[in-house]
Structure 1
Amino acid sequence: MPPRNFDWLSSSPNHDPDAAATVSHRTRELAITYGIGARLHHGERHWDDIREELARGWERLRGAERVPWSAIENDVEGAWRLVLAD
Structure 2
Amino acid sequence: MIKARVTVTLKNGVLDPQGKAIEGALGALGFDGVGEVRQGKVFDVEIDSADHARAELQLKEMCEKLLANTVIEDYSIKIA
Q: Same fold (TM over 0.5)?
A: no
Of Structure 1 and Structure 2, which has the larger fraction of its residues in helix?
A: 1
Q: TM-score, normalised by structure 2?
A: 0.37
Larger radius of gyration: 2
